[in-house]
Amino acid sequence: MISVAAISIVLQAQPNNQTNSQTALNLEGTVLADDLPKNQTVLNHPWDDYSPLPLFHEKYLIFQSARPGTNEGHDLWYSFNSNYRDRTDTPKWSIPIPLAFPLDGSPTDTMQSLQPNQNPPGQFSLNSDGFEGHPSIVIANGQPVEIYITSKAEAGRGGFSGLNIYYARYRNQRWSELRHINEINSDYDDRMPYVTPDGRRMFIVSNRPGGYGGDDIYYTERNMKTGLWAPPLNLGPLVNSEHDEITPFLTANGQKLVFSSNRPGGLGGFDIYISHYNDIEFELPLNAGRLFNSHRDDEAFKLTDDGLWGYFASDRQHVDSKGRFDIYRVAVPEAMIESVKLTFTGKILDASSRLPLGLDATIHIDFELITKVLTSKRKVKNDGETIENNFKTELYTGRSYKVRISAPGYHPYQTVLDYRGVIPPNRIDERIFYLEPIKQDQSYERQITGIVVDDATNLPLPGSRITKIESDGKSVALEVDTSARFSVPVRNSESFQLIARSPGYVSQDQSYKESKELKEIVIRLKAGKSADPCEEKDPECINNSRIYFGLNSTEI
């Protein structure tokens, strides 16, 4: 978390580096035509369309538009993507309509404001004949609970001269009226709010005195007990320049601040820049490069929830351009996605009984040439019923892992963990995996579990090999897991032998008979050289091998 105190220290320590030049961020390498941003033609209009805000994995897109509608001026509009479940395909946007909650368009008795302001019955809208733009929304439990916008003071709305930041809150099944935020706004233009998803931090743009250029980016935190915002602090000379910085956006993991600036050295007028946060301060911004920027103005960049797609507004010359500012969509390159730790945990259960396995399961997690091996443990709380998670490890976002789960007596299971995209840090991915038991021959009655241990230390001997010799002489190799455990399929009252081998230990051959008393088999091996020279791969193995020829034959 970025603290206000930490920012104030940074501002005192950093010199004015306005002469520093920003080199282009190497995101795209060779930019192909298919990689370039796509004009979202259904969303756009000959008038300005600006400040796109994708919600719920692109299910909805809220944006600002000057197109004619019920009200005059700039209003908030939105569109529904019927193809939102496919994260790789092209969105199928509906014809935009003026923004009103609920977003699904179904009016409800409770979805109304304390001051209706000519809203449709059962709906809530912020639009007026003035200016409404730059939306930012806080989501809780899958629903919008706060919306922040830029607007002007009007009768009954309050506010200072110039542009102000307002918000409305959904509480007690009602939306409040639009409220002016006194502690943030000034007598100058305060606009373009971006509120983090948890509702604790806000970035704004202001041309108030005391900045480094025309429009600067400021930062504030909210006291979650009182609900009040702290006085905004300038982000300082590393982010702000002698020119204009606008439309701030913070990635979900808090590591990248994305904004637009008309500082020298860009490709066009306003270019998109990215500043990394190094746990102390935001670093000198880098130009996002030709994948995002053009020779015109490129502004108001936002990411989808999963970080796979970016939306922004541009007045670039494009074959599909509708007029002034249009909304564009672009696939985000992997180099822009930060990798953070997350916890992968869960349970491995028997698919038939829904209970933990009778022995440990082995989990292989593959990423490129690296494999992490885990062992699940049977864990049941004191009540004897509650099953605890029996495996846990740390993985990284920005990667796709292949998971392989196996256990003796069960069919192996494979799945893929796709952690690509922007994922906030410290997330927990908790899952339950069910392994299907292998259906044995009907003549087999049950499975007897066993373990191979060192006779002196009683420690497990992973890497051991177990062979079962059945009463008819048939030999069956048994699977031994990484904890040296195995499972023996047996018939009722069956007599059998188990031959156990382990490198550096004397092999053992032991006889057993199935009975109710035989619940677990513990094989103890003693350290030493095996009596079988072939077990240790000694030269004597060849010397002692007997070769038999048929009578009066030269063939084996």
Residue type at 128 in one-letter notation: S
Task: Specify the CATH class of 341-435 in words.
Answer: mainly beta
Burial annotation 46-78 (CB, 10 A radius, 16+ → b, else e): eebbbbbbbbebbbbbbbbbbbeeebeebbbbb
Span 322-326, mean pLDDT?
A: 85
Please say if the pLDDT value at position 337 is more than 90: no
Structure-block tokens of residue 41? 């033609």
Q: Are 307 and 422 in contact (CB under 8 A)?
A: yes
Please say if the pLDDT value at position 2 is more than 50: no
Fold assignment, 446-542: Immunoglobulin-like (2.60.40)
- pLDDT, residue 61, reads 93
Does 4-336 carry CATH code 2.70.70.10?
no
Span 222-227, mean pLDDT?
A: 91
**Residue 67 per-residue DSSP state:** S
pLDDT digits (tens, 9 = 90+) for 18-36: 434 455 555 444 455 567 8
Task: Give how far Cα 388 sits from Cα of 141, 375, 532, Å.
Answer: 26, 15, 45
Please say if the pLDDT value at position 114 is more than 50: no
Structure-block tokens of residue 402? 């292949």
What distance in Å separates the CA atoms of residue 297 and residue 248, rounded to the nearest whole number?
Answer: 15
Strand order in the sheet with 286-287: 245-250, 256-261, 271-276, 286-287
Residue type at 156 in one-letter notation: G
Per-domain residue ranges of the chain: 4-336, 341-435, 446-542
- pLDDT, residue 95, reads 92
Question: Is 446-542 in the same CATH topology as 341-435?
Answer: yes
Please say if the pLDDT value at position 432 is more than 80: yes
Q: Of 38, 46, 21, give the one whose Cα is nearest residue 323.
A: 46
Q: Of 184, 233, 189, give the one whose Cα is nearest residue 214.
A: 189
pLDDT digits (tens, 9 = 90+) for 137-175: 998 887 888 999 999 887 667 889 889 999 988 887 778
- pLDDT, residue 11, reads 30
55 Cβ neighbours under 8 A, 6+ residues apart? 61, 62, 103, 137, 139, 144, 305
- pLDDT, residue 533, reads 55
* pLDDT interval class at 4 (50, 70, 90): very low
Span 499-510, mean pLDDT?
A: 93
What distance in Å separates the CA atoms of residue 239 and residue 218, rounded to the nearest whole number?
Answer: 10
What distance in Å separates the CA atoms of residue 278 and residue 257, rounded to the nearest whole number?
Answer: 11
Structure-block tokens of residue 3? 């603290």
What distance in Å separates the CA atoms of residue 130 and residue 72, rounded to the nearest whole number?
Answer: 7
Please say if the pLDDT value at position 129 is more than 50: yes
What distance in Å separates the CA atoms of residue 154 and residue 43, rounded to the nearest whole number?
Answer: 29
